[in-house]
Amino acid sequence: MAFAGQALTDNQEASERKHFVLVPLMAQGHTIPMTDMARLLAEHGAQVSFITTPVNATRMAGFINHVQATGLAIQFVKLNFPAVEFGLPNGCENADMIQSRDLFKNFMEACAALREPLTAYLHQQHPSPSCIISDMSHWWTADIAREFGIPRLTFNGFCAFASLVRYIIVRDNLLEHVEDENELINFPGFPTPLQLTKEKCPGSLSVYGLEQIRKNIYEEEIRSSGVVMNSFQELETLYIESFEQITGKKVWTVGPMCLCNQDINAMAARGNKASMDEAQCLRWLDLMKPGSVTFVSFGSLACTAPRQLVELGLGLEASKKPFVWVIKAGDKFPQVEEWLAEGFEERVKDRGLIIRG
């Protein structure tokens, strides 16, 4: 277990601070909003323990350095992640490093194994934790909150609309007996008429083998003290009120949290580093006409087959339009890299920019 961040030196001041424990899911789209949350809480006078792992701490080194430079009361707690013990490759500590959906259950079980070292850390802290805000997927943090007699709030980074969709799917088992991916599914209790196909529903809600984990997540969401959403009341009034009514849970809308970053460097420091620095990318963009560039990225978790990547590249080439194409590290298939090197990059070099990582 290792620590990084600002230590509190004034015992009286420290004892009066509220101590928030943030436990993000180790996936970029879940972790980055929580770094913003940590910053906002610390800027409002709270002490924050941000739970992470060695690999993920390396990814957010820029943010950690920023916190240390500004003196915010945030400690980054690096818990050793038991990847190998749960059948994962050594160092596989983020969801975007999982090479097969079959291993996602292993990853979630490895996350749950952090309960014991996290509990041990919290018992050593002064002041003691006041509240745990954890990703909804970390159902096991509810046991820790009960042990300390403190509230546990859930966070997932989704808007109220998406959160309500997910909740109804799980509550009513809407996908359980749907075999046709294109069958229209009605959402009972949704405040506006809504029909979705299984194909368009969140894939994580139908992955085989995660039934017990989904059940645990749902049950602990019901037992939680409330929900934190990265949204704001004026944007989603109807869906926020409906979520509170259907779940019986208080919703705190604190978004968009990214606005706490006042400069582009602070914003960029929150995530993993790409193969190309910002200055190089901006120089390339400056050569293009305003509003002419297509940005292509499917995020860090999309599982894209080599053939799909090649077809996507061919489509971008055929478009004759400028583009920036992000190929995540997990999509660096040998056959794709070979295809790119065989002439694609040369053919599009004047109007196409490929960012790896």
Across the range 97-111, mean pLDDT stands at 91
**Of 118, 117, 162, 116, residue with least CA distance to 136:** 162
Q: Which of 19, 36, 96, 135 is catalytic?
A: 135
Give the residue with greater pLDDT, 63 vs 357. 63
Q: What is the token pair recorded at 11?
A: 């015992």
pLDDT score of 199 more than 90: no
What is the overall mean pLDDT for the chain?
A: 89
pLDDT score of 10 more than 60: no
Is 30 in the active site?
yes
- Please tell me the distance from the alpha carbon of residue 205 to that of residue 170, in angstroms, as a whole number: 8
Whether the Cβ atoms of residue 140 and residue 147 lie closer than 8 Å to each other? no
The pLDDT, as a whole number, for residue 141 is 98
Q: How far is CA 310 from the centre of its chain?
A: 27
The pLDDT, as a whole number, for residue 127 is 92
Is 36 in the active site?
no
pLDDT score of 267 more than 60: no
22-35 pLDDT, tens digit per residue, is 999 999 889 999 99
The answer to which of 45-49, 100-104, 333-337, 343-347 has the lowest mean pLDDT is 333-337
Q: What angle do CA 80, 84, 88 make, to 5 degrees?
A: 110
The pLDDT, as a whole number, for residue 328 is 74
Highest mean pLDDT among 4-8, 57-61, 100-104, 275-279: 57-61
- Please tell me the distance from the alpha carbon of residue 217 to that of residue 86, in angstroms, as a whole number: 20
The percentage of the chain sitting over the pLDDT mark of 90, rounded to a whole number, equals 65
**Of 213, 251, 22, 245, residue with least CA distance to 122:** 22
Whether the Cβ atoms of residue 272 and residue 356 lie closer than 8 Å to each other? no
34-60 pLDDT, tens digit per residue, is 999 999 999 999 999 999 999 999 999
- C-alpha distances in angstroms, 260 versus 43, 117, 250? 10, 31, 23
Whether the Cβ atoms of residue 96 and residue 329 lie closer than 8 Å to each other? yes
- Please tell me the distance from the alpha carbon of residue 153 to that of residue 175, in angstroms, as a whole number: 27
- Please tell me the distance from the alpha carbon of residue 49 to that of residue 70, in angstroms, as a whole number: 16
DSSP SS3 for 133: strand
Across the range 163-183, mean pLDDT stands at 90
Q: Which of 30, 96, 138, 331 is catalytic?
A: 30
The pLDDT, as a whole number, for residue 184 is 93
Burial profile 160-198: b = 16 or more Cβ within 10 angstroms, e = fewer: bbbbbbbbbbbeeebeeebeeeeeebebeebeeeeebeb
pLDDT-derived band of residue 264, with 50, 70 and 90 as boundaries?
low
**Residue 154, strand partner residues:** 134, 227
**Interstrand relation of 152-155 and 226-229 (parallel, antiparallel or unpaired):** parallel
Across the range 324-328, mean pLDDT stands at 87
pLDDT-derived band of residue 207, with 50, 70 and 90 as boundaries?
confident
**Of 321, 318, 298, 320, residue with least CA distance to 308:** 298
The pLDDT, as a whole number, for residue 2 is 62
**260: CB partners within 8 A, 6+ apart:** 36, 39, 40, 43
Domains and CATH numbers, the chain: 2-265 (3.40.50.2000), 274-356 (3.40.50.2000)
Across the range 145-169, mean pLDDT stands at 95
Across the range 225-241, mean pLDDT stands at 96
pLDDT score of 12 more than 50: no
- C-alpha distances in angstroms, 129 versus 20, 33, 107, 304? 6, 21, 26, 41
Across the range 249-269, mean pLDDT stands at 77
Whether the Cβ atoms of residue 25 and residue 101 lie closer than 8 Å to each other? no
Q: What is the pTM of this model?
A: 0.83
The pLDDT, as a whole number, for residue 7 is 47
The pLDDT, as a whole number, for residue 79 is 98
- How is residue 201 annotated by DSSP? S
